[in-house]
Chain A
Amino acid sequence: MFTLNINGQNYQANVTDGNTPLLWVLRDVLGLTGTKYGCGIEVCGACTVTIDGQREHACVYNVSSAVGKKIVTVEGLSTDNSHPVQKAWINNQVPQCGYCQSGMIMATVGAINAGHHGSEILPEVPHLCVCGTYSRLKKAIQTL
């Protein structure tokens, strides 16, 4: 059992293996499915969350290491899409299938947390989008 602080709330995660990646704890144990599985090897970026404000790849982040830290997933930004990054995504009609967008959004949030703005954010989001939403992603990010 691990106590995790996710989106400002404490959750008890009933999992025995402390090496279980945070991704699967979020998704399978806690039912927080906004964070996506794409590759499991830190190449695609779909699983990105922020931990203590920094972007991290939940697919390789052990649950035991996440204890005592502040985890933010895409669900934690806002449910009414009022977060500036969510607004930028909607204003530019960015998502197509949308599967990679949680990770894109959270990496952008992490970059903003680190003090980046506009085009400075772009290198911080080297993720994969198979639909090819990059044109609109760039437009959205450049407004932030």
Chain B
Amino acid sequence: MNNACENGLKRRDFLVTLAGGLSVGFLTGITGRLFGAGAVTTTPVNSYVKVGSDGSITLLYGGSEMGQGSMSGLAQILAEELMVDWKQIVVEQALAGSITYVTGGSSAVRTNYSPLRTAGATARELLVAAAMLATGDQTRSSYAAASGKIVYTPSGGGATLTWNYGDLAVLAAGTDAQALLPAVIPLTNPANFRIIGKPVARVDIPSKVNGSAIYGIDVWFPDMVFGVIKHCPTIGGVLAITPAKPAAAIAVVPCKASDNRGAVVAGTYNAVAVVASNTWAARNIARSLSVSWKLPTSTTNVDSAGILAQAQQLLTSGTPLVAESSNPGANAPNMESQVASAMTGAAKQVGGTFSFPYVAHATMEPLNCTAKITFSGSTPVSCEIWAPTQAANWVVGTAAGITGLPATAITVHVTMLGGGLGRKIEQDYISQAVQVAMVVKKPVKLTWLREEDFGHDNYRPMALVQANAGLDAANKIAAWSYRIVTPSILGQRGWLPPGAVDSQAVEGAVHLPYNLGTYITEWVSSPAGIPLGFWRSVGCSLNSFVTESMIDMLAKTAGIDPFVFRAGLITDPRAKAVLAAADSLSSWRKSLVAGHAWGMAIVQSFGTWVCEVIEISQPVAGSLKIHRVACVVDCGTVVNPDSVEAQMQGGILHGLSNALWGQMTFTNGVANQTNFNKYRMLKMSEAPTITVQIMPSTAAPSGTGEPGVPPSAPALANAYASLSTGKRVTSLPFFPGATMGGL
């Protein structure tokens, strides 16, 4: 607790010294709300709650706010149980440490919901215990907590007493109060929730409309220097000769490659950082810097044509691992033969080969990191890092490995993230900044200019899928075979045990809600020369496209409405309810104007059911007009319905944008798309009207950051297949090679 307090104070010291007039801005940026800089002392009641002598209530946030709203969502959970009003609280980003966690997998609310309720309630009970110490009366029912006050009403009559939390904080933080904590911390009855489930205003938004939110790329010190990174353009290439420092540069620093947890790869320098007095100067020096690279002996595994050829071969002749089947006891050949037999006996069959490109994260804020190392002579003494990171605690390890410092000498500030989408879990850009800070011995901000950000991403992997299915005479699925060839995200980073199926490769292809009859789902691992990463919804961005396209193809073959067909195959009651709600919400589809078509898809991902119905037309060949989307979501208990709506809106557009145009291609190891002009994305004028309906639920909360994405692409494809000028799209993107003009 003392550490947390010191860290909090240290943070504010930094804030106040930062760039003079900008310091107030930084406060709003990080905390979401401005609070005065008077002589306020704060007392940590527990790891998540600090109470100020002025009555201020500060809630610590251990995640990474990248637009998904969890900085507010987690605070809502704490505030609910702490019995404070939403307008009373300030949210403060925690330094890397005991309460920070890896932000990914749409996990913030679903994994923190119960622990944070308990944390908030524990802080509340400690404050009650402090009041008990003040009165000497330990009758819990005589105390009530509300709006940041404890009110004591003696059971035998007498005057009531009222304390602000600030009056009790010091006592609450002591061991005497802890001794009075009940064995079981009572939680609020959900029927009485005041803040959970309410569309409260997000705490980070005020700072995002006046320039005061501080993203990693905005960290600024008067004495800092600015670096840009220049990787070997060919993936897998390394530095042959360290280039001489041009006179205009402050430094040219060779940077070692690092693995996915930040450990540097000895002797493998895959980039140089150029440091100058500002980013533009660094950029110009880097552009004109002639660097001698040693290229990989073969680029087959980092070339789109080569990779596709290998995948095509593996699709027919590779050795599959069974991810799931209707008969878990059977081995692959046995099961494949059972499915083949059922397929032959089916009344009607559909099938297709589906292909997917690599796609980029393309976060609006490119990768960057600021590092400052203090030295005693040439020995590092301490290291401070400011980074837009989804994995604060890993950053500590990355810095420890490079500096040789213990974790206690490393401070990691998580800034606002201008999008993360899975990319900012990686450690490469952090490692490079620390390596540069070791050399320049000044605070340094290292930025990946957009060309480097596109050209050296950890990409969503390509995939090739062969899917076949057969219907029986009653139009039920009798046979289903599914084989995906895709490189392994987990395997590439050494996280996959030998012989195991990569869960990321098959998510969205297993645990389907449909009765598939006799079925097999297999994965064939393909070579992974391109760096791979977790991209919003990961495997579901591949597999759900195939499965929901296949279901639509089956429905069309059966001549049955896609809603009716799915309803006949789904047994999960929540899925059935979502389907029925989407049917009602999209009643407009029954009276579309001529030349329009609709399509739908339903997917469960990260625990959440989402059904999307999309209306399109094609006024001109080579593009589509997306008119509207109806979306029904069941994500269990809702913390902030406004944030759920926003995540569905955003996830749908992200999925549609990438379905239409998203594609990275590589020629001999070099990325062909290096900026947004060659990586077209949806714009406001192209965005459909989106209606989101949230199912009421008392089930445990599930994810919302990613689940909007998976149904959008197949729903679009299913609509396109119904359009008179359309066709069944089995290869993404819909319109490859699209470019985007300037403003």
Contacts and interface: CB of A to CB of B under 8 A. Distances in A.
B279 A24 contact: yes
Given A20-B281, A93-B642, A130 B211 contact: no
A46 B366 CA distance: 12
B212 A79 contact: yes
Given A99-B419, A135-B690, A45 B215 contact: no
Contacts of B281: 17, 20
Given A38-B450, A105-B209, A97 B417 contact: yes
Interface in B7-47: 19, 22, 24-25
Given A42-B743, A77-B210, A132-B654, A37 B217 contact: yes
Given A37-B366, A98-B204, A127-B684, 20 more contacts: A20-B280, A27-B279, A36-B364, A37-B279, A39-B450, A39-B675, A41-B675, A74-B210, A81-B210, A95-B204, A97-B417, A98-B208, A99-B215, A105-B209, A126-B683, A130-B364, A130-B654, A132-B651, A132-B682, A133-B649
A33 B450 contact: no
20 contacts: A27-B279, A28-B277, A34-B218, A36-B217, A45-B743, A74-B209, A75-B25, A85-B209, A86-B209, A95-B67, A95-B204, A97-B363, A97-B365, A98-B205, A98-B209, A102-B211, A129-B364, A132-B682, A134-B687, A138-B687
A96 B210 contact: no
B684 A126 contact: yes
Contacts of B204: 95, 98
Contacts of B233: none
A137 B66 CA distance: 18
B206 interface: yes
Contacts of B25: 75, 79
Contact of A33 (B218, B419, B642, B657): B218
Contacts of B202: 93
B524 interface: no
A138 B208 CA distance: 17
Nearest to A138: B684
Given A45-B743, A93-B202, A131-B67, A40 B210 contact: no
Interface in A38-91: 38-46, 57, 73-75, 77-79, 81, 85-86, 89-90
B498 interface: no
Nearest to A77: B210
A31 interface: yes
Interface in A12-42: 15, 17, 20-21, 24-25, 27-29, 31-42
B393 interface: no
Given A20-B278, A42-B743, A131-B67, A34 B211 contact: yes
A86 B685 CA distance: 21
A24 B66 contact: no
B33 to A, nearest CB: 11
Residue among A31, A73, A86 having the largest count of chain B Cβ atoms under 10 Å: A31
Given A20-B280, A81-B206, A131-B419, A43 B222 contact: no
Contacts of A112: none
A95 B684 contact: no
B685 A122 contact: yes
B622 interface: no
Contacts of A102: 211
Interface string B666-693: 0000000001110001111101011000
A115 interface: no
A134 B212 contact: no
Interface string B210-243: 1111110110101000100000000000000000
A97 B22 contact: no
B308 interface: no
Interface string B158-185: 0000000000000000000000000000
Contacts of A100: 364
A15 B276 CA distance: 12
Interface string B399-434: 000000000000000001111110000000000000
A122 B686 CA distance: 11
Contacts of B657: 132
Contacts of A15: 278
A83 B649 CA distance: 26
Interface residues of A, number: 64
B103 to A, nearest CB: 12
Given A31-B19, A97-B419, A134 B449 contact: no
A135 B39 CA distance: 43
A123 interface: yes
A136 interface: yes
Contact of B68 (A21, A24, A89, A96): A96
Contacts of A90: 201, 205-206, 209
Q: Which of B222, B226, B279 has the most CB of A within 10 A?
A: B279
A128 B25 CA distance: 25
Interface in B520-554: none
A40 B421 CA distance: 21
B211 A127 contact: no
Contacts of B690: 135
Given A44-B364, A130-B681, A132-B652, A31 B418 contact: no
A41 B207 CA distance: 26
Given A20-B278, A135-B687, A97 B66 contact: yes
A62 B421 CA distance: 33
A100 B211 CA distance: 11
A17 B364 contact: no
B650 interface: yes
Contacts of A74: 209-211
Contacts of A17: 280-281, 284
A4 interface: no
Which of B205, B217, B657, B741 has the most C-beta atoms of chain A within 10 angstroms of its own C-beta? B205
A139 to B, nearest CB: 11
A71 B690 CA distance: 36
B277 to A, nearest CB: 8
A111 interface: no
Interface in B437-452: 447, 449-450
B210 A128 contact: no
A35 B530 CA distance: 33
B577 interface: no
